[in-house]
Chains A and B, each alone.
Chain A
Amino acid sequence: MCLAVPAKLIEMDNGMGTVDAGGVRKKISLLLLEDAALGDYILVHAGFGIQKLDEKQAEESLALLREAVTEVEARYKNEQDPM
């Protein structure tokens, strides 16, 4: 029940907004968001935007994940080829 999906904010009008989630458009309330702007990716739960996704943090998490992949790959390669 705590499902929330990320969607892009494409219209804003007086506390209400329209989001696009992979082609599906939906009207949502923006009453619980402090600083939503057009183009933001927003988590939508039960007809409300509940959070703006933080792009910088997303990039950082992804960078960490990719780093882990590279490290493991490098280790694997070293084990295969000790020279």
Chain B
Amino acid sequence: MSYQNLDSFRDPEVAKTLSGLIAESCQSPMRIMEVCGTHTVSIFRNGIRDMLPQDITLVSGPGCPVCVTDQKEIDDFIQLARKKNVILATFGDLMRVPGTQSSLQKQRAQGRKVKVVYSAFDALTLAAQNPKKKIVFCGVGFETTAPTVGACILEAHRQGLKNFFVYSAHKTVPPALDALMSMDTVIDGFMMPGHVSVIIGADAYLPLVEKFAIPCAIAGFEPNDILASILTLVQQKEAGESKLENTYSRAVSPEGNKKAREVMEQVFDKVDASWRGLGVIPGSGLSIREEFERFDASKAFELPPARSAAPKGCICGAILTGKKIPPQCPKYKIECTPTDPLGPCMVSSEGTCAAYYRYHGAITKVY
């Protein structure tokens, strides 16, 4: 492997060819959902929409972990930040997400100890360095991130750390796609999240493909990865087929990362979880198993049920299920901007509203 090889996945000449082949193959309207927020950003940044025929509509899905985090979970993070002797460690994207009453950023401004970390490992280091403090990590993320947090819990266990805790709000993608297909959304094909797939493996989607007879393609994040996946989705649809194609095979194997999956299974149990916009989805959450419960912040701290309410007027739910796009939200760009966000989809750098705001300019046409 070389960087030169990796660069070829950005080669504009290849992109032009793929774009031509897509236009040639596409005979009827098609709605493709890109499940992953990182794809949403890459699609905008590389101008992919401009390379597609009018008939193809790309809609974003529930693939921004911060955006789908339930309001109650956000409120719990805020409660945790207010506990005595706690240092709350979190990924930066969560800081400005509005909870029902406050946000982590506001808590920090009021003097609470909230620290932005890049990795769960940093939170573990904080725990080792501050034995008199309780370090609580906000565990948000899909299968890509959950194993990294699981590995830190195992490490804390091995080191016998008593001041490291995780609030697990982790969620898993396949049950969410199943739930989405059972709702009244029109989706003709799925562009599957590349880095979730790295962990769970391509085969993890086979039940979905079979159950709903829907074209699926696993995609990487370079422009030609994305275009290649769209090409196979269009070809499948036009041929009346529904298969799973893996166009990111340099990173995704049929069985995924076995070691990461084992760590996940060792540390977490599957539980029902509540998603913003999608409601409760059976078996789509990961809670810390009993064996490691002393690291479970939801058990170690008292968290009286907060009266959580989603931000008024925010239609993140419809955005996350591909039913609406941001320009269709009355608050978009008026009362809701990245500097003063109303909902999480405008906060996270991968949120659909933030991506539209940043890259979509003044266009309000429905793609």
A interface residues with partner B (beta carbon < 8 Å): 1-4, 6, 22, 29, 31-34, 40-41, 43, 45-48, 50-51, 53-55, 57-62, 65-66, 68-69, 72
Contact = CB atoms under 8 A, between A and B. Distances in A.
A4 B144 contact: yes
By Cβ-Cβ distance, the 4 closest A-B pairs, closest first, are A47-B119, A58-B250, A57-B249, A2-B144
Given A4-B198, A62-B5, A65-B8, A43 B93 contact: no
A29 B125 CA distance: 13
Interface of B: 1, 3, 5-6, 8-9, 11, 13-14, 17-18, 20-21, 36-38, 63-66, 91, 93, 118-122, 140-142, 144-145, 147-148, 151, 155, 193-196, 198-199, 224, 228, 247, 249-251, 253, 257-260, 263, 348, 350
A45 B348 contact: no
Contacts, number: 136
A73 to B, nearest CB: 8
Nearest to A73: B17
A34 B198 contact: no
A31 to B, nearest CB: 5
Contacts of B257: 32-34, 50-51
B198 A50 contact: yes
Contacts of B17: 65, 68-69, 72
A1 B148 contact: no
A32 B140 CA distance: 18
Contact of A2 (B37, B118, B263): B37
Contacts of B259: 32-34
Contact of A50 (B36, B147, B258): B147
B14 A69 contact: yes
A50 B120 contact: no
